[in-house]
A = this chain, B = another copy of it.
Amino acid sequence: MRIALDVMGGDLAPKINLEGALSAKAEFPSDVQIVLVGSKTAIEQGLQELGVAIDSFEIVHAEEVIGMGEHPTKAISQKQNSSIVVGYKLLATKGVDVLCSAGNTGAMLVGAMFSIKPIEGIIRPGIAGFIPQTSGKYSILLDVGANADVKPEVLNQFAEMGSLYANYLFGTKNAKVGLVSVGEEEEKGNLVTQAAHQLIKNNKSVNFVGNLEGRDILTDKADVIICDGFTGNVILKMAESLYTIFAERDYVTPFTSLFNWKNVGGSPILGVNGNVVIGHGSSDGIAIKNMLHLAKQLVDSDITSKIQKAYS
């Protein structure tokens, strides 16, 4: 397996990306290779500073960097030699099995749409987040930001893609899928949610447990929690803030640690022709390491092929 890491992505790049790559390499089986994408000079210098031989990793040079604040579409089309675009070229040509980056989220999303493209039949890809549950596991929250406005049909596809992913992650054939709304009854919710409820309820490939209220989001009511990317982004970021809030109060437990996004590492894009993980801009070495583990797991899950087959 070959995992491409955008070494230039994130607020603390390239140093922490290299640290994370080094930690992950030590934990990975020998048949998992990390391919570092970015400025060859910066990478070699960084590795030397870490006291690591520069031939420890395969390096793919990329001259340019897309900044965190750049306009995604503009940056992707103008910076063809950026680490993100070069990374996507590797992914599109099967040079690597998965691409991960803690860089500009929008650029990562636009890059996926332009290079590997959405799977045929998928209206809109979504970004999957991991939301802690009281049982100690994570549920999948989809979408967490790719689509602020959605059609009901898009939510129905999120339910399908989320099920496929959750079935692998949780070793089940029957992952429970819930729809975020404002009441249990199917007529509750905004117009999009009400229509989506009917589609998902009648979707035989989904084990639909019905609407979830805000109070059900952290309490193991569903393995897959479906909503538009606006609501999902607000939910995920609010949950993430809890770790800091409670850590500042010296309350750190295995449960509160689930809310620490550094332990999750990133969010996969579901519904594109390739494996992609987007990390947090403020990732540190631990977050990068966990992003690489998540990337490996995404390849192991074979989720991209499964979605392609489901829509073929």
Interface residues of A (CB under 8 A from B): 134, 145, 148-149, 180-182, 188-191, 193, 213-219, 228-231, 233-242, 245, 248-249, 251, 253, 255
List the B side residues contacting A239 at CB < 8 Å: 214, 238
A190 touches B234 (CB 8 A): no
Tell me how far the C-beta of A190 lies from the nearest C-beta in chain B, rounded to whole angstroms: 4
- 26 interchain pairs, CB-CB under 8 A: A134-B248, A148-B188, A149-B190, A149-B191, A182-B229, A189-B230, A190-B228, A190-B230, A193-B230, A213-B234, A213-B237, A214-B235, A214-B240, A215-B238, A215-B241, A217-B234, A217-B238, A218-B238, A218-B241, A218-B245, A219-B245, A231-B234, A235-B235, A235-B238, A251-B251, A251-B253
Minimum CB distance partner of A194 in chain B: B148
Q: Which of B191, B230, B245, B248 contacts A231 (CB 8 A)?
A: B230
Minimum CB distance partner of A234 in chain B: B214
The CA-CA distance from A229 to B188 in the complex, in Å, is 12
Q: A241 with B228: in contact, given A180-B234, A234-B214, A235-B234 (CB under 8 Å)?
A: no
Minimum CB distance partner of A230 in chain B: B190
The CA-CA distance from A189 to B234 in the complex, in Å, is 10
List the B side residues contacting A240 at CB < 8 Å: 214-215
List the B side residues contacting A149 at CB < 8 Å: 190-191
The CA-CA distance from A159 to B188 in the complex, in Å, is 25
Q: What would 10 more interface pairs be, CB under 8 Å, given A214-B236, A217-B234, A242-B242?
A: A148-B189, A148-B193, A182-B233, A213-B233, A214-B234, A214-B241, A215-B237, A219-B245, A249-B253, A251-B251
List the B side residues contacting A236 at CB < 8 Å: 214
List the B side residues contacting A229 at CB < 8 Å: 182
Minimum CB distance partner of A255 in chain B: B249
The CA-CA distance from A249 to B252 in the complex, in Å, is 12
Tell me how far the C-beta of A233 lies from the nearest C-beta in chain B, rounded to whole angstroms: 4
List the B side residues contacting A191 at CB < 8 Å: 148-149
List the B side residues contacting A213 at CB < 8 Å: 233-234, 237
The CA-CA distance from A231 to B253 in the complex, in Å, is 29
Most B CB within 10 A of own CB, among A182, A191, A233 = A182
Minimum CB distance partner of A228 in chain B: B190
List the B side residues contacting A182 at CB < 8 Å: 145, 148, 229-230, 233-234
